[in-house]
Amino acid sequence: MNRSNEDKIEQFYKLVEENMDNGMVYRDAIELAAVTVGGLITAKVSQAMAKYQEAIHPQSHLSQEEDKDTLALLSMGVLWDNKYFNPIEPDVSIPLENTLAESIYFIMKYGREEDGLNKALEANANTIGDVALRAEAIQRVLGKA
């Protein structure tokens, strides 16, 4: 990933935090920040929102699965990389943009629940990928909610 995308992701999270500091609920803060930063950030947030909706929709196949969070991340990996996602080795990194979308998925899925921050962090810890980086993003947003 190039430095420009890394800067845009950081800009996105700063805007989310500012929006929430100004009284917005996290979902609105995320959507406004995504549109403000634009480009790839908007696309990744849209993907995460779509996957979140699929995971909670009672009629979807994904919502019926026992390990729906891992399957959601795996299926987003297929969409993002146009190949099957394999659990990453510790020395191999996935694009930070994908980690952003995965974080947004957990924030959206667990944010409204009682003790949502801890539930999101626990669900994140039980999946594959960059758990630590996702946890940091989840904490930044739901820690303010």
User: What span, in angstroms and rounded, lies between the C-alpha atoms of 20 and 11?
Assistant: 14
| 3-class DSSP state of 20 | helix
Is residue 103 in some structural domain? yes
| Residue 13 included in any domain | no
**Are 109 and 71 spatial neighbours (Cβ–Cβ below 8 Å)?**
no
116 occurs within a structural domain: yes
Residue 79 has a pLDDT of 54
Residue 86 structural domain? 43-142
Task: Encode pLDDT of 63-111 as tens digits.
Answer: 999 999 999 998 887 555 444 444 444 434 457 888 999 999 999 999 9
Work out how many domains the chain is built from and give that number.
1
Task: Answer whether residue 137 is part of any domain.
Answer: yes
Classify residue 17: in a domain, yes or no: no
Residue 30 forms part of a structural domain:
no
The structure's pTM equals 0.86
Split at pLDDT 50, 70, 90, the class of 145 is confident
Residue 31 lies in a domain: no
Structural domain includes residue 71: yes
